[in-house]
């Protein structure tokens, strides 16, 4: 890689002071060696970066584990036992169903997702037998962040060790280039663990928060599947507002609840409106509100599928309101700029109901998202919502 | 956790080495500049080279220590503050306070409004980002 003209000028300089030819030889030898070993040097630099990231990931993982043990120990079991149980459980995973034969894959997925949640709940009940619904949901969220952090650590460590063993640039380059994104995710899960530990609302909770703003102090009904709701009268329209059951960190199964409600009304619903946090593009402002159509609900896809199925079956239009956030903002504690959009979104939903439906219509509004730190209604009687 | 202690030790050692290297580099660079500027051989190209090397060395030391500060700060993590905003249901009196575990949006506040005596509710709970520190690093 030594430039030819550079070599020429070096030779010219060599001729100028011939008495110093020895240092020039050393210099050129050094250049040659550097050429051969540049790759190796690069690998060392990258391995150093990955090693430091791994150190930090390990710290995140251990901190989250410690927080889980500490929080769970408030509910009736010794720390040592919880730690042992967590060590055995931390590798918990979910196998996705086979889709070679796609028919019925969603139902299989639904089944497995329920299985997973049952197992997580069972584990929490085991390590924190005295926890109530709210504490259980928050502990489960904390556990999920801990599992995610552990998994990220394992993957990065895998590539680190593989790179060390093989000294293969491809393995090392792969993980080094993904490192900023991996660390961003890890930091997000670390902040999520912090929010779950304290029972704070997270960015993803904007949907339930808007629902709460709409519900005000109306009486709420439990629809099962960890979904609650209240029926309101908005200028002659009957509006059923649904949200996940709070204030524990539940997402509920709004799809299943919606399906049951619509089936029980034999499809007599004129509109479904959904509110959810959605991934923003870089450069977009956090808390930007956008309107569209379709089922605004994230997750693994089961609930979305159910809503689309039932809406299609009865030809019910789907309106979507989304609040833009990035991944870290969605899982970490809700920031002020996100929280402050709730009133604006609630107003927009009200306006949409008034302009798109007529008196006597039945409308369902769903505030999708994690209900941690968000109650089901305003617990004060006698105020207008 | 015994594993945890070990990890922390390793990283403390790592940062110690880092700081030592920066110190050595700075010392070396200062010496280079000093020799380069010493009276008597200022005209020499060799001394010019020494000065350039010294300045570059200090540049690298500054950059590395900035990275170090960043890394340490990254570990500590920015300190977020969690706030609870309570609001009077009648007169719109609002008050912001530190969040305490067990609070949630919609919960009735245990004290009445100081302005009008009506009940208060938790209007919202949010995280406040850490104060931006305006410094070189
Ligand atoms: Zn008042």
The pLDDT tens digits of the residues spanning A43-96 come to 888 888 899 899 999 999 999 999 999 999 999 889 999 999 999 999 999 999
Tell me what ipTM this predicted complex has: 0.84
B104–A199 C-beta distance less than 8 A = yes
Ramachandran angles phi, psi of A324, nearest 5° = -80, 130
pLDDT digits (tens, 9 = 90+) for A367-378: 999 999 999 999
CB-based contacts of A222, cutoff 8 Å, min separation 6: A228, A245
CA distances B48 to A21, A24, A245, Å, are 21, 19, 73
Identify from B126, B128, B129, B130 which residue to disrupt to test chain A contact, counting A C-beta atoms within 10 A and taking the largest count.
B126
Contact residues, chain A, for B119 at CB < 8 Å: 380
Nearest residue on chain A to B15, alpha-carbon basis = A52
Least confident of A90-99, A147-156, A161-170, B67-76: B67-76
Confidence check: pLDDT of B4 > 50: no
pLDDT score at A20 = 66
Least confident of A27-36, A60-69, A207-216, B72-81: B72-81
pLDDT score at A8 = 59
> CA-CA-CA-CA torsion for A171, A177, A179, A182, nearest 10 degrees?
-90
Question: What is the residue extent of each domain of chain A?
Answer: 39-198, 203-367
pLDDT score at B78 = 61
pLDDT digits (tens, 9 = 90+) for A254-301: 999 999 999 999 999 999 999 999 999 989 999 999 999 999 998 889
pLDDT score at B80 = 82
Question: How far B39 CA lies from chain A's nearest CA (Å)?
Answer: 25
Note whether B69 and B37 are within 8 A (CB).
Answer: no
Helix (H) or strand (E) holding A273: strand A271-279
B126 vs B137: CA distance, rounded Å = 28
pLDDT score at A35 = 82
Query: What does pTM read for this prediction?
Result: 0.82
Chain B residues whose C-beta sits inside 8 Å of any chain A C-beta: 1, 3-4, 7-8, 10-11, 14, 71, 74-75, 77, 80, 82-83, 89-90, 99, 101-108, 119, 121-122, 124-129
Confidence check: pLDDT of B1 > 50: no
A200–B99 C-beta distance less than 8 A = yes
Strands (E), A102-189: none
Q: How confident is residue B34, by pLDDT bands cut at 50, 70 and 90?
A: confident
What architecture is the A203-367 domain classified under in CATH? Answer: 3-Layer(aba) Sandwich (3.40)
Note whether A230 and A221 are within 8 A (CB).
Answer: yes
Task: For residue B101, give the nearest of A199, A339, A378 by CB distance.
Answer: A199
């Amino acid at each position: 890689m030594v430039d030819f003209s550079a070599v020429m000028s070096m030779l010219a300089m060599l001729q100028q002071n011939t008495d110093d030819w020895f240092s020039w030889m050393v210099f050129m030898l050094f250049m040659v060696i550097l050429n051969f070993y540049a790759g190796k040097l690069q690998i060392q630099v990258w391995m150093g970066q990955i090693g430091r990231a791994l150190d930090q990931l390990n710290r995140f993982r251990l901190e989250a584990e410690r927080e889980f043990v500490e929080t769970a120990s408030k509910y009736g079991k010794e720390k040592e036992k919880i730690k042992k149980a967590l060590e055995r459980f931390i590798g918990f995973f979910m196998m996705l169903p086979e889709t070679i034969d796609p028919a019925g894959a969603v139902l299989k997925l639904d089944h497995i997702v329920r299985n997973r949640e049952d197992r997580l709940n069972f584990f929490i009940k085991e390590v924190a037998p005295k926890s109530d619904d709210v504490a259980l949901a928050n502990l489960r969220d904390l556990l999920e962040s801990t599992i995610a952090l552990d998994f990220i650590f394992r993957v990065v460590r895998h590539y680190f060790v593989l790179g060390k063993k093989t000294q293969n640039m491809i393995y090392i380059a792969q993980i080094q280039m993904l490192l900023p994104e991996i660390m961003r995710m890890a930091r997000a899960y670390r902040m999520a663990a912090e929010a779950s530990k304290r029972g704070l609302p997270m960015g993803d909770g904007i949907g339930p928060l808007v629902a709460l703003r709409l519900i005000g102090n109306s009486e709420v009904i439990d629809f099962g599947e960890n979904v609650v709701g209240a029926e309101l009268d908005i200028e002659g329209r009957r509006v059923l507002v649904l949200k996940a059951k709070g204030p524990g960190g539940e997402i509920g199964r709004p799809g299943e609840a919606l399906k049951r409600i619509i089936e029980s009304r034999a499809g007599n619903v004129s509109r479904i409106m959904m509110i959810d946090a959605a991934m923003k593009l870089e450069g977009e402002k956090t808390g930007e509100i956008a309107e569209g159509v379709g089922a605004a609900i994230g997750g693994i896809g089961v609930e979305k599928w159910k809503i689309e199925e039932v809406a299609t079956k009865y030809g019910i239009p789907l309106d979507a309101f989304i609040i833009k956030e990035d991944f870290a903002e969605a899982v970490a504690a809700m920031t002020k700029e996100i929280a402050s959009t709730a009133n604006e979104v609630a107003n927009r939903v009200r306006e949409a109901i008034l302009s798109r439906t007529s008196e006597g219509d039945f409308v369902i509004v769903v505030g999708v998202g994690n209900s941690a730190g968000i109650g089901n209604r305003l617990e004060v009687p006698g105020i207008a919502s | 956790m015994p594993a945890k202690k070990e990890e922390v030790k390793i990283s403390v050692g790592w940062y110690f080495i880092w700081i030592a290297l920066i110190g050595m580099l700075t010392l070396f660079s200062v010496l280079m500049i000093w020799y380069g500027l010493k009276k008597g051989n200022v005209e020499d190209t060799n001394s010019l080279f020494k000065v350039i090397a010294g300045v570059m060395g200090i540049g690298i030391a500054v950059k590395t220590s900035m990275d170090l500060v960043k890394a340490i700060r990254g570990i500590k993590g920015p300190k977020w503050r969690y706030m609870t905003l309570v609001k009077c249901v009648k007169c719109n009196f609002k008050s912001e306070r530190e969040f305490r575990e067990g609070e949630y949006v919609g919960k009735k506040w245990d004290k009445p409004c100081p302005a009008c005596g009506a009940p208060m509710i938790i209007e919202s709970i949010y995280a406040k980002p850490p104060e931006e520190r305006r410094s070189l690093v």
